[in-house]
Amino acid sequence: MIRFLTNDQINLESWDSCIFRSINGNIYGYSWYLNMVCPGWCALVEDDYIRIMPLPAWKKFGINYLVQPLFTQQLGIYSSEQISSRDVRDFLYKIPSKFKYVDMNLNSANKIEITGLSHGYNINYELLLNLPYKEISALYSDNLKRNLKRANKYVQSISRNVEPLEIITLFRKNRGDGIKALSDSQYDVLRKVFSELLQRGHCEIWGVYHPEKQKLMGAVAWVYSNNRIIFLFSAVSDSGKQKGAMPFLIDSLIREKAGSELILDFEGSNDPNLGRFYAGFGSSKVFYPRIRMNKLSILLHFGTNIYRNLRIYFRK
Residue 99 near residue 296, CB atoms below 8 Å: no
CA distances, 35 to each of 7, 8, 157 (Å):
10, 12, 36
Decide which of 233 and 312 is more confident: 233
Q: What pLDDT, on the 0 to 100 scale, is given for residue 278?
A: 97
Total structural domains in the chain?
A: 2
Percentage of the chain with pLDDT > 70?
91
- Using pLDDT thresholds of 50, 70 and 90, give the confidence band for residue 175: confident
- The verdict on 115 and 154 lying in the same domain is no
- Using pLDDT thresholds of 50, 70 and 90, give the confidence band for residue 311: very low
- The verdict on 135 and 105 lying in the same domain is no
280 inside domain = no
Task: List, as own/partner pairs, every contact residues 29-32 make where C-beta atoms lie below 8 angstroms and the sequence separation is at least 24, other chains included.
Answer: 29/54, 29/75, 29/78, 30/225, 32/196, 32/200
Mean pLDDT, the chain, rounded, equals 91
| pLDDT, mean of residues 171-179 | 77
- The verdict on 86 and 187 lying in the same domain is no
Distance of CA 245 to the CA centre of its chain: 21
Q: How far apart are CA 19 and CA 29, in angstroms?
A: 6
Q: For residue range 113-143, list pLDDT tens digits in order.
A: 888 888 999 999 999 999 999 999 999 999 9
The DSSP 8-state label assigned to residue 159 in this structure reads B
| CATH classification at residue 206 | 3.40.630.30
Q: What pLDDT, on the 0 to 100 scale, is given for residue 312?
A: 42
- The verdict on 72 and 89 lying in the same domain is yes
Q: For residue range 82-110, list pLDDT tens digits in order.
A: 999 999 999 999 999 999 999 999 999 99
- The verdict on 20 and 116 lying in the same domain is yes
Which region among 138-152, 154-168, 253-267, 288-302 has the lowest average model confidence (pLDDT)? 288-302
- The verdict on 256 and 147 lying in the same domain is yes
- The verdict on 151 and 206 lying in the same domain is yes
pTM: 0.91
- The verdict on 110 and 134 lying in the same domain is no
Task: List, as own/partner pairs, every contact residues 299-306 make where C-beta atoms lie below 8 angstroms and the sequence separation is at least 24, other chains included.
Answer: 300/63, 300/100, 300/101, 301/101, 304/65, 304/67, 304/101, 304/103, 306/181
Q: What pLDDT, on the 0 to 100 scale, is given for residue 157?
A: 85
For residue 46, give its domain range. Answer: 2-122+288-314
| CATH classification at residue 29 | 3.40.630
- The verdict on 147 and 251 lying in the same domain is yes
Q: What pLDDT, on the 0 to 100 scale, is given for residue 299?
A: 47
Helix (H) or strand (E) holding 5: strand 2-5
